[in-house]
Each structure stands twice: as C-alpha cells, then as structure tokens.
Chain A
Amino acid sequence: MGPMTDWSTDNVLALAPDSGSASAGQGLASARHWTGLGASDRAIWGLCQGSGKNPYQTRIDLGEPAFKCSCPSRKFPCKHGLGLLLLYASKKNAFPAGSEPDWVSEWLAGRSERVAAKVEKAKAAEEAQVDPKAQAKRAAQRQARVEQGVAECRTWLEDVVRTGLAGLQGDAVATCDRVAARMVDAQAPGLAAAVRRVPEVMASGAGWEKRTLELLGRLHLLLAAAEKLGELPPALAGDVRVALGYTQGKDEVLAGQGVADRWTVIGQNFEHDDRGTSRRLWLWGSGTQRPALIADFAAGNQSFDLTLVPGMAFEGELAFFASGSPLRALVKTRGDAAWSGSTFAPLEQHTIAANLQRCAAALSQNPWLLRWPLLLPATRLARAGDGWLLQQGGETLPLAPAFMRGLQLWRLLAATGGRPATIIAEWDGLSAEPVGVFTAEQAARYIELVTRQAA
C-alpha cells in the first residue's frame, strides 16, 4: 500500500473527528503557523507554536495516514495534525524534502515496532489458544448456552403469538428488554438485538401488526435454523451464526481468497450506543458489479480507520466473510487510492428494479440480512402527498419516515437542487434511507447526509 499523496482539502476535512476540529485545523493550515516543516517519502512533520512554552511536534505517517502530536488534545486527529495535512494538501512545496528529525524517525520506528509487536502478540495469543482441549471446552460451553438461549427465546416467542400482541403492547419495552438481557447472558447478542427491535416496530404506526409479524417470523426462522445448525450447509450455517451473534475471526477471513476489483467507497452510515459508534462503509466493485460492507467500531471519541472515506476508490482485494450471499468483507490488499467521481456502470444496471433484484437474490440466500446498499444514479426526490419519495424515471421508492422527519431530506434536496443525482441509500426491505449523494454539479463530489456525531 503506497502513501496517498493527492490529498484535497475536502478529503482531509473528512478525517476530522468533529466540525470544531475541522475549523480549528483550517486555522492552522497556513505556513505562518509552522516552523521546521519537512517531508520524507513516508512522512511529513512540522512545529506549531501553541499556548504552551514549547512548540508542538506534529508528525504524520502518510502511509495510513497516522497522526502523532505532542499537544495535550484528546481529539484524534488533533487540530495540529489536521492543519499540517491541510497545508500539505494545498501547498506541497512548503515541505522541503529532508531527512527525518529524531522525533519523527523514532516515532515511525516505534510504530513499525508496535505493529510488529501486535502481530507477535496476536500470534502468541493464538498459539496459547491453540491448546485444543481448552478451546473445544470453551466452544462447547458457549454452544450449550446459546442452545439454551434459543430454547428460551422460542418459548417466549410462541407465548407472544399465543396470547396476542395486544397483551404485549402495555409493557413491550420492559418485557423485551428483560428477554434481550437473558439472550445477552446466553451469549446470543444477535437474538437480543432482534428482540429489542420488537417494541420499536410495534410503535411504528398504521400497519404495525404486519411489520411486527414479519419481524417475529424472521426471528422464528432464525430459531428454527439454530435448532438444526449442525445439518445446514456451511455457508448458511455461517449466516445463522452471524445472525445469532457469533463473531467470525478476521484472520481466518483474511487468509481466504480475495476478490480483486476496483472498489469505490460509495457511502457510510453510523449507529450510536453507549459504548461508541459503529460505522457501515458501503463499497461497490465496478468490475464484479457487487456491493460490499465494511463494518467497524470506534469507542467513545476514538477515530475510525481514516484510509477509507466515501468518494475514494482503490484497486485491491476484499476478503468476504463466509455467507450464502457474501456482503461483509475486509480489505485484504490495497493499491494506491484515488478520488473517484460518480461514474458507475450504465444506468440499466442501477435501476431501482435492478437494485431490488440484487437485494432479493441476497435475501434468498441469507434472509437475515438487515440492510442492503442501493446505488441509484439519475434519481431525484419527488412529492407524494404530504411526504416524499425517490424517483428514477418511472420507478419510485418509499423513504424512511425518520429520514423525512430530519434535516437529511432537506440536505439532499439542497445538494441536488431537485435535479437527478447519484443517490446512495440503505434499504431495509421497507424503505430507503439516503446516506449520501454524488452530484454532477460540484465536480462529482460526495456529499454526506448523515453525520458521525450523535444527534
């Protein structure tokens, strides 16, 4: 993976942990704030006078990019790091090529050591785990717990349909929370999440009983599959295990065969809970004509992997998690990244019908898929009664109610000016939630509709 050198202001700003840092970083993106600027083939560095006595030492490993600064800020990257990279983006000649000062080279050396140590440690842990007896014992314990959880969930589920949803309505949240907590204890977090979704769907307005029944049916299907996990073909068994909440080992995935293509990051969405933020990055392979999902997590104020941001594309290999319809993936190998425009395959492959067809095919293999990415060129917003929908030629798609309630709808309208654009949305089987848009107007720039910050 070569260092990415063609940074633009927009791309750097996309790395900022919040708008305050972005703005503060811009304030420092001018050469007058810096002394001792320099660049080597793998890093840039500079000294910035802050409020302290000694100037801050700011350095960036261009390979990742990785940031390090001697300032006390807890933000990551801090404003100095952002400022330095912004300056680099706009004025490369402000950075004379030179040999790395000690405080840069030592850090870089430390970094590669740490990376090596991490690999080492992981290996050691793996070897420690390879005690086959202990491993088998742990696996058997978990399996027993999950089986018990599945049985309990089954009893509860059948109880609910026997006594009726009306009976659950009064204290759905409390009841479902209790059941979900039991599922967490039983080491089946996937079941817990499914149960927690029930009260939300029950409160979703007209037609709620059909949607709830659909959800309960899906849960039932999962329980039925879990009950005969041993008899299922491996790919399907993998999907069932993921739906139950088993994690798949990343090393195992990375060791498998990669899918080579030109991968474009077409959009992202975030979800928050009290531990932190999970991110869904949606990718599209222009040769294979298939989507991929890279899911990651950042605790608290931590930063996400900043090498993948919407709008960029790279030649490389993705390794897919085992599934009946592989979607979730990891980056296996990666060539130089470049900023992509919104040039995707011909429209007929991205009609609403083609998108839904791809989703249906995926569901036929893995009915527990929660979200599917829609890549919709030449699509615009149109009115439908009091609400709005997506329109592409003669086809339409309903929009998620939450999307229409918030400012995102208006951001999409403003960004497109009511004209057709390439809209990226998440599809949950009922409605679409647009997360970003490529407009032709602003030099094919990706405009984000969702933000990382919790509302």
Chain B
Amino acid sequence: MSANVQPSRMLTELGPVAILGSDRAGKDAPAPRQLLNLAAVAGTRARAGRRFAAEASPIGECPQEPCPLATPRQEALLLRLLGEMDAALIVEWCTHALAKAVRVPPAAVPGLLAWWARQNRRAPEVLAAAGTCGSWLAGLNPDWNRPVATAQVPANAEDLWQTGSILERMALLQTVRAQDPARGVELLRSTWSADAADDRRKFVELLLATVCPGDEPFLEAALDDKSKQVRREAARALARLPGSGLRARMAERAKPTITITKSKGWMLGREKIAIAIEPPKAYDPSWKRDAIEETPADKGQRAFWFTQLVAGSDLSALAQPSGLEPAAFLEALSGDAFFRELLAAMTTSAAICPGQPDCVQWAEAIIARSSERAFEHLQELSPLWMAQDQQRSEALRLSLISGWKGGTAQHMWKVLAADPRPWSQGFSQQAAMLLQKVHVKREYAWEMGVNLWNASHLLHPAAAEAFESIITESYPDKLDPNAAKSLVRSRLRAEMHREFYS
C-alpha cells in the first residue's frame, strides 16, 4: 500500500485488518507500527480532504406570517413554563398569545411542539399559538404530525375499524364521533357481535361523553347484552340522555316512593300539602335490566334502591304531582328522615343530566339546601355550578359561603373551587377577602395546600397579591410544599398577565 492511494480507500482497506488485529490478518498484513503509520497519514489526509456531494432535496419554505412576534419577555416566560412543564400555564400562555394575536417566536416553537406532542390531552390552543411556523414544522416532523392529523377522520376509517388495535379503534371512534355521531354507531354495529366483551365495554364507555338521542336504539339494545359490564355502561349512558326511555322508566318507579297528601286547609281554603318519602320495600326483578344494583355496599337496602331510582329520574317528574316549584318541594321534604339521601340522589341526577327540564332551577334549589351537612356531595355538585352562567355561579357560591356560620377554610375552598371555570376578578378578590378571615387549623395544613394549588390556576391574576398574603399568613413558619408551588404559580400567572395586558 502506498501513500498515493486515495486516503478514504486506504482506510477502507485497513479497516478489516484493524478489526482482526495485525497478528491474525494474514502474513501480508502490516506490522502494528506500520499499520498505525498508514492510518495516521490516511486519516489526516482524509480529514483535511473530505468533500461532499450528496443528493439534496429542497424543502418548502415556511410561509411568512403577518402577525407580530411575542416580546422577548413573553418568550422568556414561555421557556420558563416549558422548563417547569406546567401544562395548565403553558396552555394559558398560548390562550393569551392568541387573544393578543402574537405568535410564538420561531426558535421557541420546536420546544413547545415537542412538549405538546407528549401530552395526553393536546390542547388545540397550543398548535394555534405556534402559528404557521408550528404547522409547517409539524408537517416536516412525523412525531409532531400525528396529533395534527387525528383531527380528521382517515379515509380508510372502515378498514381501520376492522383491523386496528383496540387503542387505534378507540381513537378512531372518538374522532368519528366528534364529527358524525351516527357514523360512530354504524362502526360499532358493524363488528358488535364479534367484539370481545371488554372491548364492547370500552366502546360504550366512550359514547358516554357524547351521548345523543340517535344513540338510544343502540344503547337500549345493549341493555340486553350478555356482559354485565356492557349493560351497566349502556344504562349509565342512557341515564345521561335527556328524555330517554330509561329515564322515563326510572321516574315511573321513583314517583310512588314520594307520597303526597293534600288536605283542605282552614285558612282561606288553601290546600295543605304533606309529602313523605317511602322507599321501595322490595327489589323488583324488572329493575335488573336497567342496571339497578340490588345489593348495597354500605347503606340500607331500601335507601340504596331509592337513591338509584331518583338519580336516574327527571327531578321535575318527581315534583310534578305535588305541583310545587323546586325550592318549595325541597322545603316541604326538608324534615324527612330520608331527606339527606334524596338531596344526594337529586344532586347526582342534575349532575349527570344537566339537559333535563328545569335543571337550572333544581340546581339552585339543591345548592341553597346544601348546608355543611351535605359537604360530601360538594365535589359532585360541580356540574351543577357549570350548568349556571358564570356570574350566577359565582354569586351563588359567595352567598353560600357568607351564609355559613362556623364554616372552615376547607369547606370554603371546596365551594369556591367547585366550578372549574377561571374566576372573575371580582370573585377572586371577594373570595380572597373571605378566606383571609378564616383561621387555618394546623392539622389541615396539607389539605389547605392542595386547595391552594387548585385555586392557584383559577384565580384572576389581579387578585394574586391578596392570594399571596393568604398563603404567607396561613403558614407563618414554613410553607407546605403545595402552598409553595401555589405561590410560584400565582406569581407566574400574575407576571404573565402583566406581560400580555399592560
């Protein structure tokens, strides 16, 4: 081998010798020192002399965007949020950016998309805020392209439904349902008899969130399914469907449990109404088809059956024989031995089927009756608050809290945070004022921290300072970890608000 051979070819020839070792590479192989000499020369020549001629295919350019860039300070905030991976705040940043019609600076877009693609719930605001640059990059990166594409039903939906994995089929069903619910049911019917019981359950569970009148025949048939799990899911879905046959059957069963006695009053001939609850005495076998459970886990059988019947009924249908408005109906029953169970069941009914007649009136009446003793149901109440318009929900919650004597901070937080919508400025400030008055007991420090954390992303940024002083006053010695996190988050949100709106 001479030094005149092309260096890269020489390295190719010497490679196998180096792998085997000069001792074993045959008798013509160069001695170690000679091999290294050749490698030194060829290597240095190759390093200095490499030239490249690869086939390159151009990519399309990113279209120019008219909308202005976020400021460096706004960008630095976004980078910080991405570093902390606080999903709620990243989405909030994007919402502000969209509201102010500024776009994420290009250099920050890849980090944002990479984060976004890893999320289970991919908020559309993020892709929108990433703008043209975001869609352009997503088109070039298969990892980021997937989430963009799922917004559309694939052309081979029917084939994919037949052959896909359970995860693919669930994703497909969700996508199809979002655009054409009836087509989703068609897909389900096409393979129903062949699908495994557990898969059938998962599919029906998916229908729950988007249940619509067109689903009823299918779900009604599923009440006769071989699998108990499928039957239960189908019943749950039908109980969420306003005006469904199942809800009507439930109301027919529930009505007899509320007995109404009318008598002529003495004064001015007004009618006097006495209402009493008489829970069912026995389990009717015909209830089984509508997935009414027979054996309770904890409470008495009769109360257990009663709450299930009421929870599946239209509340107005129960009150209708008495002719009373919701508030008066509850007032008339307030002394009953089963009132607590009734209130809990009614809460569930309003929560799972906000579309039933007069639900808003019922929600108000239930909320007004939810004194401290109904606290265990406050979590369930959140759909009720949601059913109100935001202003009304906030006013109701404030009046509820200020009406309580001796309510603890924990109770207040639960009511305040029961509605998952962000708080208005006025509500945030009033809530902070109320809470400042409540002494926090030491043993609740952890729970309080959790509540603070929940509140820290609902709070209006203008109330951040008041919120901060609640936190520092509640923990004079040492911040609970959640409280510390809440403090950071609340400051960040206030800062973000300033960056975008002042």
Considering the chains assembled together, what is the distance between the CA atoms of A259 and B328 in angstroms? Answer: 94
Contact digits for B53-64, partner A, Cβ 8 Å, 1 yes 0 no: 111111111101
Q: Are A164 and B19 in contact (CB under 8 A)?
A: yes
Is residue B73 within 8 Å, beta carbon to beta carbon, of the partner chain? Answer: yes
By a CB distance below 8 angstroms, the chain A residues around B380 are: none
The residue from A10, A166, A364, A413 contacting B140, defined by CB atoms under 8 A apart: A413
Q: Are A161 and B107 in contact (CB under 8 A)?
A: no
Is residue A221 within 8 Å, beta carbon to beta carbon, of the partner chain? Answer: yes
Of the candidates A13, A391, A413, the one having the most CB atoms from chain B within 10 angstroms of its own CB is A413
Q: A19-B83, A218-B43, A384-B54 are in contact. Are A414 and B133 (CB under 8 A)?
A: yes
- In chain A between 379 and 396, which residues have their CB closer than 8 angstroms to a CB of chain B? 381-384, 389, 391, 395-396
Is residue B77 within 8 Å, beta carbon to beta carbon, of the partner chain? Answer: yes
By a CB distance below 8 angstroms, the chain A residues around B35 are: 161
- In chain B between 28 and 59, which residues have their CB closer than 8 angstroms to a CB of chain A? 32-33, 35-44, 46-59
By a CB distance below 8 angstroms, the chain B residues around A407 are: 110-111, 114
Q: A363-B47, A384-B57 are in contact. Are A166 and B106 (CB under 8 A)?
A: no
By a CB distance below 8 angstroms, the chain A residues around B62 are: 414, 417-419
Q: Are A414 and B16 in contact (CB under 8 A)?
A: no
Considering the chains assembled together, what is the distance between the CA atoms of A31 and B12 in angstroms? Answer: 67
Chain B residue, CB-CB nearest to A357 = B48
Considering the chains assembled together, what is the distance between the CA atoms of A414 and B41 in angstroms? Answer: 41
By a CB distance below 8 angstroms, the chain B residues around A220 are: 36-37, 39-40
Q: Are A158 and B16 in contact (CB under 8 A)?
A: no
- Which one of A58-66, A178-186, A206-214 contacts B? A206-214
- In chain B between 104 and 143, which residues have their CB closer than 8 angstroms to a CB of chain A? 106-107, 109-111, 113-114, 133, 136-137, 140-141
Q: How large is the interface on B (under 10, 10 to 19, 20 to 34, 35 or more residues)?
A: 35 or more
Is residue A323 within 8 Å, beta carbon to beta carbon, of the partner chain? Answer: no
By a CB distance below 8 angstroms, the chain A residues around B299 are: none
Counting residue pairs across A and B whose Cβ atoms lie within 8 Å, the total is 185
Contact digits for A423-437, partner B, Cβ 8 Å, 1 yes 0 no: 000000110000000
- In chain A between 398 and 455, which residues have their CB closer than 8 angstroms to a CB of chain B? 398, 407, 410-411, 413-415, 417-419, 429-430, 442, 447-448
Considering the chains assembled together, what is the distance between the CA atoms of A95 and B11 in angstroms? Answer: 65
By a CB distance below 8 angstroms, the chain A residues around B451 are: none
Q: Are A398 and B52 in contact (CB under 8 A)?
A: yes
Q: Are A158 and B48 in contact (CB under 8 A)?
A: no
Is residue A9 within 8 Å, beta carbon to beta carbon, of the partner chain? Answer: yes
The residue from A213, A363, A411, A413 contacting B15, defined by CB atoms under 8 A apart: A213
Considering the chains assembled together, what is the distance between the CA atoms of A448 and B106 in angstroms? Answer: 12
- Which one of A21-29, A104-112, A328-336 contacts B? A21-29
Q: A218-B43, A417-B62 are in contact. Are A398 and B36 (CB under 8 A)?
A: no
Is residue B21 within 8 Å, beta carbon to beta carbon, of the partner chain? Answer: yes
Contact digits for A308-322, partner B, Cβ 8 Å, 1 yes 0 no: 000000000000000
Chain B residue, CB-CB nearest to A22 = B76
By a CB distance below 8 angstroms, the chain B residues around A20 are: 80, 83
Considering the chains assembled together, what is the distance between the CA atoms of A363 and B7 in angstroms? Answer: 15
Considering the chains assembled together, what is the distance between the CA atoms of A162 and B30 in angstroms? Answer: 10
- In chain A between 45 and 99, which residues have their CB closer than 8 angstroms to a CB of chain B? none
Distance in angstroms from A105 CB to nearest chain B CB is 32
Distance in angstroms from B172 CB to nearest chain A CB is 28
The residue from A166, A221, A391, A442 contacting B19, defined by CB atoms under 8 A apart: A166
Distance in angstroms from B114 CB to nearest chain A CB is 6
Contact digits for A220-252, partner B, Cβ 8 Å, 1 yes 0 no: 110010000000000000000000000000000
Is residue A367 within 8 Å, beta carbon to beta carbon, of the partner chain? Answer: yes
Q: A389-B56, A419-B61 are in contact. Are A410 and B141 (CB under 8 A)?
A: yes
18 contacts between A and B (CB under 8 A): A26-B76, A158-B33, A164-B22, A213-B18, A216-B18, A220-B37, A221-B44, A224-B40, A356-B50, A359-B48, A360-B48, A363-B48, A398-B52, A407-B111, A410-B141, A418-B59, A430-B47, A447-B107
